[in-house]
Amino acid sequence: MNAETSNTGLGADWRDHIFRVFQDHDIKQVYHVPDAGHARLIEHCQRSNAIRTLALTTEEEGVALAAGAWLGGQRSALLMQSSGVGNTINMMGLTKTLRFPFLTLITMRGDYGEFNSWQYPMGQGTPKVLEAMGLLLYPVERAEDVRATVDAAARTAFNGGQAVAVLLRQKLIGIKDFGKKTAK
Amino acid sequence: MSKPTLQRRPLVKQLLDGADDNLLVIAGLGSPNWDVTESGDRPLNMPLWGAMGAPVCMGLGLAIAQPTKRVLVITGDADMLMSLGSLATVAAQQPDNLAIVVLDNEKFGETGNQASHTSPRNNGPTDSGAGADLALIAKGCGIADVGTVRDAAEVAQLVRDARGKKGPIFRLVKVMVEKLEFVMPPQDGAHLKDRFRHALLGHP
């Protein structure tokens, strides 16, 4: 049996690759709001004894938590959707004022073939507002690039002391579709 | 309800009296920052100059990372009102080393003492709030151990609870509206963070 798949429940899915990168980089706290794109990764984190997984009421809590974790000597990651990025912007200023390593992974909506028009404003605004707040952006849209990209982002954050956002593009995640819709 | 009589500065001084390396303090922006700093600037204080709404979650992340230390968050009513959901996030984690003390003067003090939502309703056209009860909100969010302190006779117990009682605990302290001197800690956030980590971890 392949060592990577034995006992861990981990396979070749790109979300499993992200979990391995979290392990490799000794990430101890993971913050999230429920998200279909991140669901499999969140479940890996929840099952892990090495990672404390916290559900948030709003994404900005994750930035403050990450600052607190770093003050206490632990690495963390914030998982969110592009629609949640807008909720974090003032709090993202902490990454500049405190200059602490910050890693966030963002599943993109309103990005590529999105069916829900309400997702486009924040989806299209996400890279711009993150850049405005000084984050480095690592977009990825092919499954085979996920592990290397998240690994590089973690190195940039925790070794290079930067605030980094990995944008998991909608082309990678797949287009959410509610199937046949009834318009009222 | 009678007007608050507790003064915030001597109260915070008591809260932090004899603080040693086991006590990690996060102070919210504005008055709580100046209150904590008047008690004595120390590396294991993280006084915030901005990031309104951050202190409770910053304290939670720190409490999880440092389970053997006591983490004390001291902030104000307006800061707490901006991050009510964080009380539910704390309750979901049940950190036994985290205490949250909210100094409630029922005002947005830094911007000219406008009524906050904890001010009473029907208090005139420019000074009415909602009568919001932050201790009740904390309880409703799932923090079982909550309390409200109004009298000088209750302060000694408040200090014991904040410093040592099994967390998470939430205490609302009704304090007077006062005009006080700004007592400022260093402002550079990166410096505050580095000195905190150095004191706690031995490296920046």
Smallest Cα distance from B85 to chain A, Å: 6
Neighboring chain A residues of B63 at a CB cutoff of 8 Å: 68, 72
Rounded to an integer, what distance in angstroms lies between the CA atom of residue A161 and that of residue A98? Answer: 11
**Residue B162 in contact with residue B168, Cβ under 8 Å?**
no
**B5-52 pLDDT per residue, tens:** 999 999 999 999 999 999 999 999 999 999 999 999 999 999 999 999
What is the model's pLDDT at position A8? 64
- What's the CA gap between A165 and A135, in Å, rounded? 6
User: DSSP letters along A144-174, please?
Assistant: GGHHHHHHHHHHHHHTT--EEEEEE-HHHH-
Residue linked to tokens 């006080």 = B180
Mutate to test the interface with A, among B24, B64, B90 (most CBs of A within 10 A): B64
The stretch A63-73 carries a mean pLDDT of: 98
CA-nearest residue to B141 within chain A is: A57
- Considering only CB atoms, A56 lies closest to which of B46, B89, B193, namely B89
Terminal-residue alpha carbon distance, chain B: 48
Interface of A with B in 45-74 (CB under 8 A): 52, 54-58, 60-74
- Is B3 inside any structural domain? no
Distance CA B34, CA A182 (A): 58
Q: How confident is the model at residue A10 (pLDDT cuts 50, 70, 90)?
A: confident
Predicted pLDDT of residue A4: 45
A29 touches chain B (CB under 8 A): yes
The answer, yes or no, to whether ipTM is higher than 0.90 is yes
Token pair belonging to A174: 């797949």
CA atoms in the 13 A half-sphere facing the CB of A88: 36
Distance from C-alpha of B177 to C-alpha of B187, rounded to nearest angstrom: 25
Nearest to B97 by CA among B60, B131, B130: B60
Domains of chain A: 14-171 (3.40.50.970)
Contact A18, A105 (CB under 8 A): yes
Nearest residue in B to A93, CA atom? B51
Contact between chains at B61 and A28 (C-beta distance less than 8 A):
no
Q: Distance between alpha carbon A118 and the CA centroid of its chain, in Å? A: 21
Per-residue pLDDT band at A1 (split at 50, 70, 90): very low
Contact A61 B190 (CB under 8 A): no
Half-sphere exposure of residue B194: CA atoms within 13 angstroms, side-chain side = 10
Shortest distance, CA B175 to any CA of chain A (angstroms): 26
Q: What is the CATH number of the domain that holds B22?
A: 3.40.50.970
First to last CA, chain A: 53
A7-21, A93-107, B90-104, B149-163: which has the minimum mean pLDDT? A7-21
pLDDT digits (tens, 9 = 90+) for A34-45: 998 899 999 999
**If DSSP codes are grouped into helix, strand and coil, which group holds residue B47?**
strand
Judged against a pLDDT cut of 50, whether residue A170 lies above it is answered with yes
Measure the CA–CA gap between B71 and A106, rounded to whole angstroms: 30
Cβ proximity of A87 and A78 under 8 Å: no
H helices of A1-106, where? 14-24, 39-47, 60-71, 82-85, 89-94
Which domain, by its residues, includes B141? 8-201
Which of A28, A56, A65 has the highest number of chain B CBs within 10 A, making it the mutation to test binding with B? A65
In a domain, B124, yes or no: yes
B194 within some domain:
yes
For the entire predicted model, the pTM comes to 0.95
Q: Which residues pair with A54 in a beta bridge?
A: A31
* Gap between the Cα atoms of A32 and B140, Å rounded: 22
pLDDT at A67 over 50: yes
Least CB–CB distance from B93: residue in A54, A93, A99: A54
Answer whether A176's CB lies under 8 Å from A115's CB: yes
Facing residue for B51 by CB, picked from A70, A76, A91:
A91
Looking at beta carbons, which residues of chain B come within 8 Å of A69?
Answer: 61-62, 64-65
**Under 8 Å between Cβ of A127 and A90:** no
CB contact under 8 A, A64 and B53: yes
Structure-block tokens of residue A61: 């809590």
Q: Which residues of A touch B55 (CB under 8 A)?
A: 64
* Domain tally, chain B: 1
